[in-house]
Amino acid sequence: MGQLDLSSDLSPNNSQSENSNKRRYIGVRFNCCGVYLRIYINRQATAYEGRCPKCGKPISVKVGSGGTDCRFFEAY
């Protein structure tokens, strides 16, 4: 019978490099169609941009100093 190794290297250096490769996002509930979607940051890192997946309504949430640390929003 073979062996299964489920261990992984969880050193701080590896976890930091993995987290830096993940795209930043915010959660948005589109009240127009009652759907939830992740909206990802644009390439310039100036705003989170996206569209309602059902009706196509655009949304843009600017990034800047003095903003909020909230991660979930509603779009009307």
Residue 71 lies in a domain: yes
> For residue 67, is it within any domain?
yes
pLDDT interval class at 67 (50, 70, 90): confident
44 band by pLDDT with thresholds 50, 70 and 90: very high
Average pLDDT over residues 8-12: 54
**What is the domain range of residue 49?**
23-75
C-beta separation of 25 from 49 below 8 A:
no
pLDDT value, residue 11: 53
Is the distance from CB of 53 to CB of 37 less than 8 angstroms?
yes
Q: Does the structure show a pLDDT above 90 at 20?
A: no
Residue 8 located in a structural domain: no
Mean of the per-residue pLDDT values for the chain?
83
Quote the CA–CA distance of 13 and 32 in Å, as a whole number: 43
